[in-house]
Amino acid sequence: MFRGSLTALVTPFRNGTVDEAAFAALAERQIAAGTHGLVPCGTTGESPTLSKDEKRRIIALTVEVAAGRVPVIAGTGTNNTAETVEMQRFASQAGADAALVVAPYYNKPSQEGLFQHFKAVAEAADLPVIVYNIPGRSIVDISPATMARIAALSNVVGVKDATGDITRVTAHRLAIGPDFIQLSGEDATALAYNAHGGTGCISVTSNVAPELCARFQEAGLAGRHDEALALSDRLYPLHRALFLAPSPGPAKYALSLLGLCTDELRLPLTGPEDAVKAEVKAAMAAAGLLQA
């Protein structure tokens, strides 16, 4: 159910508020382009600066737009276990298909603290949990041994791995088993991640190039390596450009060039500099998304 190209949706803003019409249109565009799942309220959705009410509304709106056509994996994770439990229960009631739960950031919990956090969240609602391991942002790294303990919890079904270490796929599979869903959290290494046994990517680039990302994942998962490699090469400049400045700044700028939303961000994020914008434009042209 959770495989292929899963888009970590941006949250469009207009004059400081969530632009619900633009968000709904972006989600609909994803489905029409063949995206295999929607992930609202993740890092790419600027979740740290969304209010609780905004998160609830965005999750509910995503479920409404998806209407069962693709799974919705709601970003419910925070660095506060009680708040994450609250969001987990809301996402379940709202009809989400799963929750993406990030390792608690800033607090720097121990491996035991990480396990207890995910235990509390997994037990809070009857909703599949995808663990989000992103040490570059959260500072803490969920070790393979701790991941195996977490994977044994009821409702925990998989991981979004943004460690950049593709050997984790093998380590997790050997420690947990082949049924544990492993999704890349890094577009640029998604080809290698799947080659090691992953089954998809929770993608930033697919905000901008949903059809290409979906085709890339479908080719790779079907064993059409040459096709997947060619699509990966075509997408690589865009993968690179979208992370030359803090995400989702470049992605929102790219979407603004396509007329799909504004490039407005919430502080402390600011927009990319002109040199980065030029790189984004060039990468979009190389991918066939804009005229050169």
Domain architecture of the chain: domains with CATH: 4-221 (3.20.20.70)
* pLDDT given for residue 199 in this prediction: 97
* pLDDT given for residue 292 in this prediction: 66
Q: What is the rounded average pLDDT of the residues 161-182?
A: 97
DSSP the chain: ---EEEEE----EETTEE-HHHHHHHHHHHHHTT--EEE-SSGGGTGGGS-HHHHHHHHHHHHHHHTTSS-BEEE---S-HHHHHHHHHHHHHHT-SEEEEEPPPSS---HHHHHHHHHHHHTTSS--EEEEE-HHHHS----HHHHHHHHTSTTEEEEEE-SS-THHHHHHHHHH-TTSEEEES-GGGHHHHHHTT--EEEESGGGT-HHHHHHHHHHHHTT-HHHHHHHHHHHHHHHHHTTSSSTTHHHHHHHHHTTSS-----TT--PPPHHHHHHHHHHHHHTTSS--
Mean pLDDT, the chain, whole residue set:
97
57 pLDDT above the threshold of 70: yes
194 pLDDT above the threshold of 80: yes
**What amino acid positions are annotated as catalytic residues?**
132, 160
How does residue 160 score in pLDDT terms, banded at 50, 70 and 90?
Answer: very high
Each residue of 197-252: pLDDT tens digit? 999 999 999 999 999 999 999 999 999 999 999 999 999 999 999 999 999 999 99
* pLDDT given for residue 1 in this prediction: 81
